[in-house]
Structure 1
């Protein structure tokens, strides 16, 4: 079987060998070879001890332990250190505003940004400071603190905000009805009542490590990812404890716990047709199907989409086009298409280092990377083209969130993209689906430049390449 470059689907029996992430880190002098595992949230397999520099198991507890303290990313000369936030001089309503560009930056020097969630005009940001900040119209609106450690995931369902943490806890918050700037913690998953009730029965304990048992309804390691299926009233959580758990949102009850992978689950996303996708540090992407089971539902393993040596770090689903995207620590984005029975569609090659986050909206997919950039890809008639490379972060891009722009129309769909980084900032971008792609921009620039003037280099040939197909 050929690898992804030949367009053939991966199989269990023929895994693709790629360079380990530890070796990739050394290609960028700005990334420390002693980077802590929390910086990339993709824990490596215990069987892959050849790259211990990347997968140190001790969690980052504060900035003093951060590899970025002495890094060029964190210099006192940063223009953001003098202000709690900064804005670009270009407004989103400027007629000359470029189709794809930076609106502004949100900076609060208290921690690296690990998670984002956007709803309406509010943006929630989670960091390793244990604080969740709330931003409104590019200004800090409010915030609240959790004692549960680094905030690795945030999702919003109606009035409830769920946060997943380094210590294995999932917290539930609500906005105060009397004061919208006040957020109150209203519970946790599992609930205390369910925890006590389950702890009574010995059959509810499972072996999680040698000589250690734990309740099956509770994660015993970092909660790395959360995903919602609001139509079914379900939430999915993935953890470094290798399990996928299914929760009923209405009463916070744990319905299932699935031993999903051989190593840490780094990403989970609820998709189309009752499918759920999980990606892991064991190098696999697995598909789970929700089916009726008695009076409720149960999830069954369906297939493995990918099996490779390097860690799977991010997943995203374009529900309208029914495409699944997978980012991994080798810098590649693989994808699969429903219309072709989830066969492998190709590879997007736009990054020099690990892909750490993905987001999909409309005909676009966004990939954020440890190389500090965000690639914007447009899918047309099954072919992906790189529209833009959004540059400006001085640290790895760790998380993404996308909201429809208020100026968006059917003929010109526009999106507001939020990117969180380990440079402690969140950047806000405006992206249009009708923007010219990189090749068109280069051609236009060369057309308008005076004769003999050297054109700006927009990208490397690798970034310009389209997906490879069968």
Structure 2
């Protein structure tokens, strides 16, 4: 067999036709005195395509060496060194292959067997043969790195009641806050000063949502009304959108790549319905009915599907064209509080990429095509996934296009799970719970990854940085905290609020975090 040498790695152009069985079936009985493994590098985009041939590598081959190898001319042939993460049997390689493989096997054993294996671990390695190479799955990471926010650069008073919702514009230049004082305020992030006060609601504003072109802001609240405002001047785009009979609990714009004019908006309510509005004509196009209790969250998918979850314990999928319910997902034993889509971050960014170039009216179609390409790239060959969280203390991972049965039920929280969010790269899910903890899960299979502990009160909300490496959380304990997902540790505390922190958001450009709560002050945090 002919081989070629790459540094200290041997490669062969022949790849095994057999499936790898080492990871899922290996037991302590196959541990022998070996110093090398035969491995295959496999794409993690759902295609499972192999890159290059079968490699013979040292057992202590490290993450940095794997990155250099994958970027080399014999494999991906990248012009520059791009970052990747690598997994063996769903366990991330953070040090070397051998230690990761040992951990993956220990995870599959009973506690007693794992203890015995650990006692034998020193000096031992695992056999892999050319007939059963070890499959190492790789995923691209963000090219940029978001630096953690560490200091408060602005404390912005103005609201006379608690701030219930904080949301950055998709281009990262403005932030909107909705409050119990029945107003929405827009703040200029360049000057960190008030920009506009949007008045018109008569009760608490529960949710605010930016259009994906960054030109409009929608708000809904306890007055049963949806209002849409121009971000540039703070004026209403038309009449108030009336029709709901109870509180408006959630809002979702039609994706930018589906309609660059951003005319349509979905709203959900405690009146058990979802309404689709034409904001240009200020009228309701149609109503989606079927839930038997209050709807708690609504999402508008990139393929035209609308997702909703409710206190009737179900999740429903709706076809916008046929205006009908296409699937009902059952699984939770109590109210479904919130849900998240694997494509949520890229849809939120809408017309903007990481450079956040201002949107020009004569380039709408060009930007729409670019947005569609970014969406397709993020989605890859995988169907859209959902994660729902509930008062039953659990989360459920779904793949609705494939099956109405859950992929996994994620258990471990000891209290109500209030908020859940996919990471921007779609590979992790973070959940915030009233048990004072945040848990992070593998979005591919629902496996538990880590618990983030540090808050001394219920955690209300979480938000990811754009590179999926950091997470910010807001809690009843009056603090926000920044977490490092590479090691699961608290990176820095963000103290300063005098009362509960209800809402946090990380700007899409990664530069700022916004937090607001019961003390009626919006705080902006920077690096």
TM-score, with structure 1 as normaliser = 0.54
Of 397, 410, 421 in structure 2, the residue corresponding to residue 335 of structure 1 is: 397
Match of 1:266 in 2: 296
Match of 1:204 in 2: none
| 2:385 is the counterpart of 1:323 | yes
Question: Per-residue CA shift, 1:249-272, capped at 9, x if unaligned?
Answer: 443331111223111111111225
Of 212, 219, 241 in structure 1, the residue corresponding to residue 244 of structure 2 is: 219
Of 218, 233, 241 in structure 1, the residue corresponding to residue 271 of structure 2 is: 241
> Quick one: distance in 2 between partners of 1:264 and 1:414?
35
| 2:184 is the counterpart of 1:132 | yes
Contact kept? 1:160, 1:172, Cα under 8 Å: yes
Distance 1:382 1:283, change over 3 A: closer
Contact kept? 2:228, 2:279, Cα under 8 Å: no
Once the two structures are TM-superposed, the CA of residue 220 in structure 1 deviates from its matched residue by 1.6
Once the two structures are TM-superposed, the CA of residue 377 in structure 1 deviates from its matched residue by 2.9
Contact kept? 2:332, 2:392, Cα under 8 Å: no
| 2:227 is the counterpart of 1:176 | no
* Uncovered stretches (5+) of structure 1, i.e. residues with no partner: 1-97, 178-182, 191-216, 292-297, 439-470
> Quick one: distance in 1 between partners of 2:297 and 2:275?
12
Once the two structures are TM-superposed, the CA of residue 152 in structure 1 deviates from its matched residue by 1.2
Once the two structures are TM-superposed, the CA of residue 222 in structure 1 deviates from its matched residue by 0.5
User: Which aligned pairs between 1:324-363 and structure 2 lie closer than 5 A?
Assistant: 324-338=386-400, 340-360=402-422, 361-362=424-425, 363=427
Distance 1:312 1:188, change over 3 A: farther
Distance 1:133 1:235, change over 3 A: same
Contact kept? 2:163, 2:180, Cα under 8 Å: yes
Contact kept? 1:327, 1:356, Cα under 8 Å: yes
Contact kept? 1:224, 1:238, Cα under 8 Å: yes
> Quick one: distance in 1 between partners of 2:176 and 2:472?
10
3-state SS in 1 of match to 2:323: strand
**Number of aligned pairs?**
291
Tell me how large the CA RMSD over aligned residues is: 3.4
Match of 1:382 in 2: 445
* Uncovered stretches (5+) of structure 2, i.e. residues with no partner: 1-144, 344-378, 490-527
Match of 2:84 in 1: none
Once the two structures are TM-superposed, the CA of residue 390 in structure 1 deviates from its matched residue by 6.1
> Quick one: distance in 2 between partners of 1:132 and 1:420?
20
Match of 1:163 in 2: 219
Once the two structures are TM-superposed, the CA of residue 111 in structure 1 deviates from its matched residue by 4.1
> Quick one: distance in 2 between partners of 1:130 and 1:393?
30
TM-score, with structure 2 as normaliser = 0.49
Once the two structures are TM-superposed, the CA of residue 368 in structure 1 deviates from its matched residue by 2.1
Of 316, 325, 329 in structure 2, the residue corresponding to residue 305 of structure 1 is: 329
Distance 1:368 1:267, change over 3 A: same
> Quick one: distance in 2 between partners of 1:419 and 1:151?
21
Question: Per-residue CA shift, 1:4-60, capped at 9, x if unaligned?
Answer: xxxxxxxxxxxxxxxxxxxxxxxxxxxxxxxxxxxxxxxxxxxxxxxxxxxxxxxxx
Match of 1:114 in 2: 164
Question: Per-residue CA shift, 1:84-127, capped at 9, x if unaligned?
Answer: xxxxxxxxxxxxxx999774568668544432322233332323
Once the two structures are TM-superposed, the CA of residue 334 in structure 1 deviates from its matched residue by 0.8
Contact kept? 2:237, 2:280, Cα under 8 Å: no
> Quick one: distance in 1 between partners of 2:431 and 2:163?
16
User: Which aligned pairs between 1:344-423 and structure 2 lie closer than 5 A?
Assistant: 344-360=406-422, 361-362=424-425, 363-379=427-443, 381-389=444-452, 391-392=454-455, 394-397=457-460, 399-402=461-464, 404=466, 408=467, 413-414=468-469, 417=471, 419=473
| 2:482 is the counterpart of 1:429 | yes
Q: Which has the larger radius of gyration?
A: 2
User: Which aligned pairs between 1:56-75 and structure 2 lie closer than 5 A?
Assistant: none
> Quick one: distance in 1 between partners of 2:285 and 2:456?
40
Of 132, 144, 164 in structure 1, the residue corresponding to residue 197 of structure 2 is: 144
Match of 1:70 in 2: none
